[in-house]
């Protein structure tokens, strides 16, 4: 069979997402290249070699979760594959008024979560639409406080009293303390528009391989969560 217009494959014949790669061996081959990678194609003696390497800084979606009267939201399996994890959530609302969103880490892939009296240090500053600033923090705590620790700007369970934002978890498999940074926008229990930014650390060099979000009282009524990893 000769290599001509009658037997050469077309994009229509191989499907969406494929590319045609030609060589001296005859008719071109259809290849599907996926993933976060740099691809190198090397011609040889009537052959083609295709190799790939991970793209530095590429973001990979690792997992998703949806809260529905959930006691907590957890993600396990954090590893040295990614030097940075980013947890994004939207439309998070507690089931109980005047509550605070909290964060903990695990070193046994979620079997237990660290909750000692001095396991975490954190600091944050909240602002509202009236221009009020409210800094908070702790040098030794059982958790990292994320949203609502400000006494007059706690989370609410009323209509539109939801929160959206990001948490960055830095190098959880490293030998240093695992550090987090967070930024959120939310409507509090008295319908003020608020924002909060902050940071914290797990005060141990232990390998962190799971994370958990939960309320200081009651369930997480609603919320959509996405966890991403970034390679070094």
What is the average pLDDT across 111-118? 98
C-alpha 74: how far from chain center = 11
pTM higher than 0.85 = no
What is the pLDDT, as a whole number, of residue 36? Answer: 54
Sheet of strand 220-230: strand arrangement: 59-70, 220-230, 84-94, 163-170, 178-187, 193-202, 120-128, 133-141
Distance, in Å, from the CA atom of 188 to the CA atom of 152, rounded to the nearest integer, reads 9
Report how far apart, in Å, the C-alpha atoms of 98 and of each of 93, 147, 158, 217 are. Answer: 11, 11, 11, 9
What is the average pLDDT across 125-134? 92
Domains of the chain and any CATH numbers: 15-54 (no CATH), 59-230 (2.60.120)
> Under 8 Å CB-to-CB from 125, ≥6 apart: which residues?
133, 134, 135, 136, 196, 197, 198
What is the average pLDDT across 107-117? 98
pLDDT at 198 over 50: yes
Distance, in Å, from the CA atom of 48 to the CA atom of 42, rounded to the nearest integer, reads 6
What is the average pLDDT across 21-37? 56
What is the pLDDT, as a whole number, of residue 8? Answer: 52
Distance, in Å, from the CA atom of 56 to the CA atom of 228, rounded to the nearest integer, reads 14
The pLDDT tens digits for 170-183 are 999 998 999 999 99
């Amino acid at each position: 069979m000769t290599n001509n217009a009658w037997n050469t494959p077309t994009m229509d014949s191989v499907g969406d997402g494929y590319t045609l790669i030609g060589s001296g061996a005859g008719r071109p081959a259809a290849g599907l290249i996926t993933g976060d990678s740099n691809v190198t194609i090397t011609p040889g003696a009537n052959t083609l070699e295709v190799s790939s390497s991970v793209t530095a800084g590429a973001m990979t979606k690792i997992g998703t979760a949806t809260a529905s009267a959930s006691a907590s939201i957890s993600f396990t399996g954090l590893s040295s594959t990614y030097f940075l994890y980013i947890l994004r959530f939207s439309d998070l609302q507690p089931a109980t008024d005047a509550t605070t969103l909290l964060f903990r880490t695990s070193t046994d892939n979620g079997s237990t979560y660290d909750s000692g009296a001095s396991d975490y240090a954190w600091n944050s500053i909240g602002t509202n639409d009236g221009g009020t600033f409210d800094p908070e923090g702790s040098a030794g705590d059982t958790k990292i406080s994320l949203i609502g620790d400000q006494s007059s700007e706690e989370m609410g369970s009323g209509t539109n009293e939801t929160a959206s934002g990001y948490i960055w978890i830095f190098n959880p498999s490293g030998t240093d303390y695992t550090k987090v940074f967070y930024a959120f926008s939310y409507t509090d229990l008295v319908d003020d528009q608020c924002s909060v930014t902050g940071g914290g650390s797990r005060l141990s060099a232990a390998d962190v391989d799971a994370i958990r979000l939960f309320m200081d009282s009651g369930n997480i009524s609603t919320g959509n969560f996405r966890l991403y990893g970034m390679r070094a």
